[in-house]
Amino acid sequence: MFTTPRAVMAVGALLGATLLAVPAAAQAVPAAPTPQAARARAAAGLDDPAKKDIAMRIVSSAENSSLDWKAQYKYIEDIGDGRGYTAGIIGFCSGTGDMLDLVEYYTQVKPGNVLAKYLPALRRVNGSDSHSGLDPNFTRDWAKAAQDAEFKKAQDHERDRVYFDPAVKQGKSDGVGTLGQFIYYDAIVMHGDGGDATSFRSIRKRALAKAKPPAQGGNETTWLNAFLDARVWAMKQEEAHSDTSRVDTAQRVFLRKGNLNLNTPLDWKVYGDSYHIG
């Protein structure tokens, strides 16, 4: 939860930016669909297995500078963002609670696993960047656990429970299609869904002050631009997130092209690196 980019970023002093930025590109706004039509469009969305794989690859381009998201189960390092160790396919963090939840779940399904002995330490360091009780062997044991199919399934389970399923559910409730559901998913991966001002639900609330989602009679493109404006504002509140290229040169690109179903081929950039899904 609350992961930061693992690519090298040029970080500017961008704190305190306002939400009143002009959208990246002016475009004609088509007539808003009816709420019924919006819900029908959202019915088949990001939870389609092929679309979900695309979503994971795009997120991995930002989080791991790679489209090979399945190679990230073993990933672990402290990236110096104040959240302790960041690891796995979605950036579970020792300092934010979701890594603890993951290891607890893994231990439920496979008692005595190689990470179970770290549960007391993970409980102690939760909420901090401390490695106390984890070093020197935690990273080695994480990589060892990642060879276990049950640990991979546990990572998938927690990704879906905490991030993917809530994002898709809210997207379908708002009447947005596959792209909109992905935009929600990427936001909840980075910001979590807590009660703070930069959380997913707060970003959505800020967007609601500017536009309405399709399920409320709004235009989908207008709504998603408002949401992305709010997302950019939230990113700029924290220096480690202030490079907004995962929005500006990725999600905005798909939106400007009217690719609301996130259809391939897809071309985008993150932190200056180019990516393609054919």
Check if the beta carbon of residue 172 is closer than 8 Å to that of residue 44: no
**Number of C-beta neighbours around residue 277 at 10 A:** 15
Q: In this structure, what token pair is assigned to residue 210?
A: 């500017």
47, 78, 81, 174: the active-site residue? 81
Which contiguous run of DSSP H or E holds residue 276?
A: strand 273-277
Q: Tell me how far apart the alpha carbons of residues 246 and 270 are, in angstroms, rounded to a whole number.
A: 5
Q: Tell me how far apart the alpha carbons of residues 242 and 224 are, in angstroms, rounded to a whole number.
A: 20
Indicate the SS3 state at residue 266. strand
Q: Tell me how far apart the alpha carbons of residues 60 and 31 are, in angstroms, rounded to a whole number.
A: 34
DSSP 8-state code for residue 252: H
Q: Tell me how far apart the alpha carbons of residues 73 and 75 are, in angstroms, rounded to a whole number.
A: 6
47, 63, 101, 229: the active-site residue? 63
Using the CB atoms, write b or e for 11-21: b if 16+ within 10 Å: eeebeeeebee
Has 63 been annotated as catalytic?
yes
Residue 106 makes CB contacts below 8 A (sequence gap 6+) with: 113, 115, 116, 145, 150, 151, 154
- Strand ranges (DSSP E) for 143-258? none
Provide the residue type at 164 as one letter: F
Q: Tell me how far apart the alpha carbons of residues 156 and 105 are, in angstroms, rounded to a whole number.
A: 11
Active-site positions read 63, 81
